[in-house]
Amino acid sequence: MKRVFAGAVLALVGGAALAGPVVVETAVRPLARPAGGGLPVAEVSGEGFGAWVEGFKARAAAKGIAPELLERAFDGVEYDPKIITRDRNQNEFTKTIWDYLDTAASDLRVTNGQAALKRERAALEAIEAEYGVPKEIVTAIWGLESAYGTYKGDTDIVEALATLAHDSRRGAFFEQQLMAAFEILQAGDVAPRNMKGSWAGAMGHTQFMPTSYLGHAVDFTGDGKRDIWGDDPQDALASAAAYLADAGWVEGMPWGLEVVLPEGFDYEIAGEHEVRTAAEWNAMGVRDVEGRPVPDHGPASIRLPGGAKGAAFMTFGNFMVLERYNTADAYVIAVGHLGDLIAGGKRIQSGWPREDRALTLAEREELQTRLEAAGFDPGGVDGKIGPLTLAAVRAFQKSIGVVPDGYASLAVLQKLR
């Protein structure tokens, strides 16, 4: 078994961490994206695409990509306006965390995950021994990224990345990904038309972006190729584990656990930036769902993705490691919870405020605008609910005498109105 690296780029498509009922995309993989123009297909223009491709070929050739490969890989490639439309509308399609978890950790996904783990047990146990990442966590990532290999995406990656790179909104990022894709092709790990994946450029069983592949993909089977696309998932599963190990995964440390908060808990100390020891949390009366003191797995935070009325989680250092794979808190909780369920653990015990709904992009922008106008700095108006917006929500809640849980809900927006 051999690890192969060509850099250390941690670049899966991602964005701000999510919290509250705000936003997880309708796809199982919640990739947060910058707000876009939301243009319908008819208004998306591919004018100049051919000239752009010729320019890219020249730039790629100057970096050592073989001209013959460039000609072969671009043969038949066309501008796809549907990809641009999807990219620009991603922030409009949202779910609450509980709706997302209902799908991400459904009974069927758990059952299929247990079957997948059983089928690949020998490889997954060897991967766990090599990288220290639990087989259930690797299996959960596999389940969320490609439904255990049943849907890896059938989009031509060269065409998708070329289309996105030609678009000026995030052209530089996607040209970097396209250049990395050609490095992969030139290495011979996959043929151009077999390089398939999602419309946004993520590839294979574990949906690696090309730069992440170059930095972290491994040849676990020892056949001389880092094959994350084929029917055999071993290289892809090992690559996901290698990615997490490189990001600092601590062997033996859980991602987190559900906890019960005591009466009168100070919600101002909830959040990823408030870190305490297990002894400190225990002294405050925080307990696991069985009523026991929380175990000591190092410094920990309390997260409330559904606000004070939803489940509370104590999260450890490996939570942040999983965020390197995908920055959305909802995704990390889904991976951790699905992994726990695959291992035979219990479902989340607390309820959720299911009467709430996710804010639309326009409402998230309005929330930030109104917070700013009221003197609570959300860090700009971009429709992304990150740490600064959550802190502004918490400060606003405290100013009006409601529980300062930082939950960016419709009720908060209505009070701002």
Distance CA 139, CA 120 (A): 9
Q: What ranges make up the beta strands (E) of 110-260? A: 155-156, 196-197, 218-219, 256-260
Mapping DSSP to helix (H, G, I), strand (E, B) and coil, where does residue 209 land? coil
Distance CA 169, CA 39 (A): 12
Cα 386 to Cα 95, 166, 285, distances in angstroms: 16, 29, 28
Q: Which residues make Cβ contacts (< 8 Å) with residue 383, sequence separation at least 6? A: 35, 91, 361, 364, 365, 368
Report the helix count and the strand count for the chain, using DSSP H and E: 17, 8
Q: What ranges make up the beta strands (E) of 205-346? A: 218-219, 256-260, 287-288, 301-303, 312-315
Amino acid at 239: S
CA-nearest of 151, 155, 173, 153 to 164 is 173
Q: Which of 25, 120, 145, 323 is catalytic?
A: 145
Q: How many CB atoms lie within 10 A of CB 383?
A: 25
- The tokens for 33 are 């994206």
- Does the annotation count 251 as an active-site position? no
Q: Which residues make Cβ contacts (< 8 Å) with residue 42, sequence separation at least 6? A: none
Q: Which residues are marked as active site?
A: 145
